[in-house]
Amino acid sequence: MLKEAQEAVKRISYEAHKKEVFTSGFFITLLAEQVGQVAEKYIDEGRMGKDIEVDIADVIVASLAYLNWLEKDASEAFKKSLEKHENAIRKFTEKRK
């Protein structure tokens, strides 16, 4: 499902990250920074903020880079995450009835 995207990110950054990144702290910080940029743009410009979708996609790219560094399959992880999301939404909507 995400195989092509993960491979594209791997081509760009895998070798550099494998040589230069020694702890998960780098990726946690990177993800926090990317999420912060989305939040700032939304606060300043709202949901129609210029290129906010690119800032959100930056979170996805950073996540794929992290999964590459961990040598984990994004597609399999995404399937599991999607199942969790579906269950959470089902519970959420049932509570609202």
The pLDDT value given to residue 96: 81
Total of domains in the chain = 1
What is the tens place of the pLDDT at every residue in 34-74? 999 999 999 999 999 999 999 999 999 999 999 999 999 99
Give the whole-number percent of the chain exceeding pLDDT 70.
Answer: 100
Rounded Cα–Cα distance for residues 51 and 27 (Å): 23
Per-residue pLDDT at 97 exceeds 80: no
Selection from 4, 6, 67 nearest residue 31 by Cα: 67
Q: Where in the sequence is the domain holding 65, given as residue range(s)?
A: 3-95
The pLDDT value given to residue 75: 96
Q: Indicate yes or no: pTM above 0.85.
A: yes
Rounded Cα–Cα distance for residues 35 and 7 (Å): 23
What is the tens place of the pLDDT at every residue in 3-45? 999 999 999 999 999 999 999 999 999 999 999 999 999 999 9
CATH number of the structural domain spanning residue 23: 1.10.287
